[in-house]
Amino acid sequence: MIESLITLWSGLPLFLQLGLKIGAIILPLLGMVAYYTLAERKVIAYMHVRVGPNRVGPKGLLQPIADAVKLMFKEMIIPTHADRYLFLIAPVLALAPALGAWAVVPFTDTLVLADIDASLLYVLALTSMGVYGVVIAGWASNSKYAFLGAMRSAAQIVAYEIAMGFALVGVLMAAGSLNLREIVVAQSGGIHEWFLLPLFPLFLVYLISGVAETNRSPFDVAEGESEIVAGFHVDYSGMGFAVFFLAEYANMILISALTVIMFLGGWHAPLEIAPFIWIPGIFWFFGKLAAVAFLFLWFRATFPRYRYDQIMRLGWKVFIPVTLVWITVIGVAKFFSPIGHWFG
Amino acid sequence: MTFLEIVFYVFSAVLVGSSLLVVTVRNPVRAALFLVLAFFSAACLWLTLEAEFLAITLVLVYVGAVMVLFLFVIMMLDIDIAQMRAGFANYLPLGLIVALIMAGELILVMLSGEFGDTQLPRPVGHDADYSNTEALGKVVYTDYVYTFELAAVILLVAIIAAISLTLRRRPETRYQAPEEQVKVRKEDRIRIVKMPPRPEEKP
């Protein structure tokens, strides 16, 4: 049975094989996004001592499907004097990088679509392109609120990208590789070998910058509804809005996955002893991913929104110096200390 | 035609087409976006040369950072498209002359025989485990370490110069001092007064 399946698989043309592999990543990812929105509503509801959505399906489990159907059948309104093509292309530009970056994410040692050499840079390059969707949406809507949201978002994303990039410089110094799979391999051997401990400041900087980069609360001034209605997507309705929504949640899941890969040991079990190593690596990967993704929801339920100048101060005057200092620490520790093996 | 050649021609066509549109399209925001497309296609062409590090860095630096700042500025301009079209005929002869001279110079250089297949042979493809990133890193930090560090120092000087040029001391602006704010204790700000409850007055 399995033999015949393998021969059938290798008989397929290359592009069909690739297409099936891509589908096997994208479709579960979209399912994850759908249920992440439900999880967000439920988690925040319980933190607010409410119940959350519980009408559609058992315990509200079909709510994301109802939402999707509703958004699909809504009319998509294009404002007068909006730049029609850019208005329609902006949500796609926001979503495409968030999906494209998954091409290099290693789920386990062998389960990775494209094991390319500079995958860390690839991820960084693609996530940096996500800002175009926001900026173009804000400009093309021809609306003041949307434009203000886009400006805020562009400044914020560019600022935090620098801190994020420096945090990743620390990771690649410790791992000695730009390949995400090799970065995880460098963390094998248990929780004390994960980069979480030696690179703890960079972990914090990366996680918080990730929240800022995805425009999530408490850094969600780009859509601050109390000041600029809903920011850059205020003029979007129907599918346009839905695609922005998808992009935001896909980005959050992506940042969670990258945090797991770079600081929490990827598919490795926390201890290399009996009960832990029985569980296959992919479960560890997704378990850790869910834990980090939960943090995003927890932040949103807990913290009040930052003021804009506080966001900029945190990004430029706190995070960038912290990462620069820690890069120096890594460089010195790698060569001159008895715990040098920790740093790679 | 091999698959690689098809890829090359597709990306080259996109690159040339988007570069043409950068200079011909009227709306500056769209022109900037076509420039983004041109950078991206150039990066894809570099990928076919096995220069993945340079290609991704091109996307990261130019598409991800420089062009975002460009758009940021362009979007805030108040553009009158009719006024921009008015000057087109005046600038056309001068522009054509510059373009023709540049094209002629390029053609002369290309025809000089220094860039044929004999002087610059096609790059030989490497094995699957060849790492361009690693090779580049080794060269930059050994053979070219002085030039590399010189470039770094020049960039640092440029950063400091740019900051000091734009830094304005504005004594009238009032800033918050977060380090002072977090030091505040309850005792500094509020005074708790104990008062006996008064009996309610009858109207």
Could you tell me how many CB contacts below 8 A there are between chain A and chain B? 69
B25 lies within 8 A of chain A by CB:
no
Q: What is the DSSP letter of B62?
A: I
Q: Mean pLDDT over residues A119-135, rounded?
A: 86
Residue B104 has pLDDT above 90, yes or no: yes
pLDDT tier at B18 (50, 70, 90 boundaries)? very high
pLDDT, tens digit, 9 for 90 and up, residues B20-50: 898 888 788 888 889 999 998 999 888 888 7
Mutate to test the interface with B, among A115, A117, A136, A158 (most CBs of B within 10 A): A117
B59 lies within 8 A of chain A by CB:
yes
pLDDT, tens digit, 9 for 90 and up, residues A54-79: 888 788 888 888 888 888 888 888 88
A122 and B56 in contact by Cβ < 8 A? yes
Q: Quote the pLDDT of residue A73.
A: 87
Token pair 């860095």 in the structure block, residue: B57
Q: What is the dihedral of CA B134, B139, B145, B148, to 10 degrees?
A: -70
Q: Mean pLDDT over residues A83-94, rounded?
A: 86
Q: Which sign does the torsion angle of CA B34, B37, B43, B49 carry? A: negative
Q: Quote the pLDDT of residue B29.
A: 84
- Token pair in block for residue B78: 């108040």
B68 lies within 8 A of chain A by CB:
yes
Per-residue 3-state assignment (H helix, E strand, C coil) for A157-207? HHHHHHHHHHHHHHHHHHHCCCCHHHHHHCCCCCHHHCCCCCCHHHHHHHH
Please tell me the distance in Å from A158's CA to the nearest CA on chain B: 7
Q: Quote the pLDDT of residue B103.
A: 92
B133 and A154 in contact by Cβ < 8 A? no
Report the share of chain A in percent with pLDDT over 90: 6
pLDDT tier at A224 (50, 70, 90 boundaries)? low
A121 and B53 in contact by Cβ < 8 A? yes
The mean pLDDT value of chain B amounts to 84
- Judge whether A234 and A148 are in contact, CB under 8 Å: no
pLDDT, tens digit, 9 for 90 and up, residues A156-196: 888 888 888 888 888 888 888 888 888 888 888 777 778 88
Q: Quote the pLDDT of residue A114.
A: 79
Q: Mean pLDDT over residues B139-147, rounded?
A: 89
The nearest alpha carbon in chain A to B132 belongs to: A117
The mean pLDDT value of chain A amounts to 84
Q: Quote the pLDDT of residue A339.
A: 63
A115 lies within 8 A of chain B by CB:
no
Query: What is the widest separation between alpha-carbon atoms in chain A?
Result: 67
What's the pTM? 0.84
pLDDT tier at A82 (50, 70, 90 boundaries)? confident
pLDDT, tens digit, 9 for 90 and up, residues A109-120: 877 787 787 888
Residue A344 has pLDDT above 60, yes or no: no
B69 and A124 in contact by Cβ < 8 A? no
Q: Quote the pLDDT of residue B152.
A: 92
Q: Report the distance separating Cα A215 and Cα A299, nearest Å.
A: 12
Buried residues in A12-50 as b, exposed as e (16+ CB within 10 A): eeeeeeeeeeeeebeeebeebbbbbbbbbbbbbbeeeee
B52 lies within 8 A of chain A by CB:
yes
Residue A315 has pLDDT above 60, yes or no: yes
- Judge whether B49 and B123 are in contact, CB under 8 Å: yes
A97 contacts in B (CB within 8 Å)? Answer: none
Report the share of chain A in percent with pLDDT over 70: 95
A128 and B133 in contact by Cβ < 8 A? no
Q: Mean pLDDT over residues B117-138, rounded?
A: 75
A86 contacts in B (CB within 8 Å)? Answer: 29-30, 33
Please tell me the distance in Å from A274's CA to the nearest CA on chain B: 35
- Token pair in block for residue A254: 């992506």
Q: How far is CA A331 from CA A173, A193, A207, B85, B126, in A?
A: 8, 18, 22, 56, 32
Residue A301 has pLDDT above 60, yes or no: yes
Report the share of chain B in percent with pLDDT over 90: 20
Residue A229 has pLDDT above 90, yes or no: no
Least Cα distance to A37 among A7, A70, A14 occurs for A70
Distance of CA A70 to the CA centre of its chain: 26
A161 and B132 in contact by Cβ < 8 A? no
Q: Report the distance separating Cα B154 and Cα B148, nearest Å.
A: 10
Q: Which residues have a Cβ under 8 Å from the Cβ of B171 and sit 6 or more positions away?
A: none
Q: Who has greater pLDDT, B117 or B182?
A: B182
Q: Who has greater pLDDT, A249 or A337?
A: A249
Q: Report the distance separating Cα A149 and Cα A145, nearest Å.
A: 6
